Amino acid sequence: MPNTQSHLWPAAGLRSIGAGKAGATGPLKRLKVDDRSIEYRIRRSRQRKKTYQVSIVAGEVVLAVPYSTTNKQAEEMVRRKSPWILSKLDTAPARPEVPSFLSGERLPYQGGELTLWVQGVDTTPTGQPEVSRERRRLKVNVPLDLDDATRSRRIEAALMTWYAHRAGEQVEEHLARWLPALGNGTVPTVRIRNQKRRWGSCSHTGNLRFNWRLAMLEPALTEYVVVHELCHLTHMNHSPDFWGLVARHLPDVKERRRRLRELEATLPPL
């Protein structure tokens, strides 16, 4: 049986299922155009028959093409689209800087922001930084005996764990609402993962995986990702039937997709 996994990708909306491991992109390639250089990746899809699509994903060019497309053909597509690509790269907003994990920094949460408050303590019950939310502050208690590099790494790991728990809670709430209408009679296995290049995925066995960064998004966008993946329990593709099913349940799906594309590029690279 072929791998029939389907994914929801950040920044460029829904994009094609790739060859082999679904949604996989190839290595970074580079094309010289006049005095400029364009770096891009190729994503091949067995579902994409003739057309190709160029997307700018967090400052990176991604070319979605039919599975049989050669590297040379892909390069020519990028060359033909180079004026558009370069103009988009020139006007794309700068990626947020990597947080320093110091008090006063602001981190996104459910469409708003929380202010980081880092406090040194003699010890914690686990010996690791511990995160808690206090109204609009995200408090991190950090053992004082950590050197600077270790301190930063462990704060980052603790924050990711905290966000993952919040994402899991939000996903479960949306599943409780939508599973009766969109489920296939079974309760799917749900996992929250550190997925660098996708918001969610649904395997051919009905297992659902979601990105911990969903906790950074406004609830309507998290709901969209959950509904999107649940619709894959019926249609394991991005066909008109699939989009019709999504739209029947979320009539403003296009607007939610647009907001998701815009917001992804603004999230801090934790």
Distance from C-alpha of 263 to C-alpha of 270, rounded to nearest angstrom: 15
Cα–Cα nearest to 217, from 261, 250, 253: 261
Give the side-chain half-sphere CA count within 13 A for 57: 23
For the segment 200-239, what is each residue's pLDDT rounded down to a tens digit?
999 888 899 999 999 999 999 999 999 999 999 999 988 9
Residue 106 pLDDT? 93
Distance from C-alpha of 59 to C-alpha of 163, rounded to nearest angstrom: 24
Residue 45 pLDDT? 85
In this structure, what is the dihedral angle of CA atoms 90, 62, 54, 257, given to the nearest 10 degrees?
-90
Task: Kindly tell me if the per-residue pLDDT of 262 is higher than 90.
Answer: no
Residue 58 pLDDT? 62
H or E, element range at 6: strand 6-8
Greater confidence (245 vs 96) lies with 245
Residue 155 pLDDT? 93
For the segment 24-75, what is each residue's pLDDT rounded down to a tens digit?
567 889 999 888 999 999 988 887 888 888 887 666 788 999 989 999 999 9
Task: Kindly tell me if the per-residue pLDDT of 150 is higher than 70.
Answer: yes
The pLDDT-based confidence of 100 (bands split at 50, 70, 90) is: confident
Task: Kindly tell me if the per-residue pLDDT of 23 is higher than 80.
Answer: no
The pLDDT-based confidence of 93 (bands split at 50, 70, 90) is: low
Report in angstroms the alpha-carbon separations of 112 from 94, 172, 218, 267.
20, 21, 7, 12
Instruction: Tell me the residue length of the chain.
Output: 270
Distance from C-alpha of 99 to C-alpha of 39, rounded to nearest angstrom: 25
**By mean pLDDT, which of 4-8, 65-69, 139-143, 261-265 is the weakest?**
4-8
- The set of residues, in sequence order, having a beta carbon less than 8 Å from that of 146 and lying 6+ positions away, is 154
Q: What pTM does this model have?
A: 0.72
Number of H helices, E strands in the chain: 6, 12
Residue 263 pLDDT? 84
Residue 116 pLDDT? 95
The pLDDT-based confidence of 11 (bands split at 50, 70, 90) is: very low
Domains and CATH numbers, the chain: 25-91 (no CATH), 106-264 (3.30.2010.10)
Residue 10 pLDDT? 43
Distance from C-alpha of 171 to C-alpha of 226, rounded to nearest angstrom: 7
Residue 25 pLDDT? 64
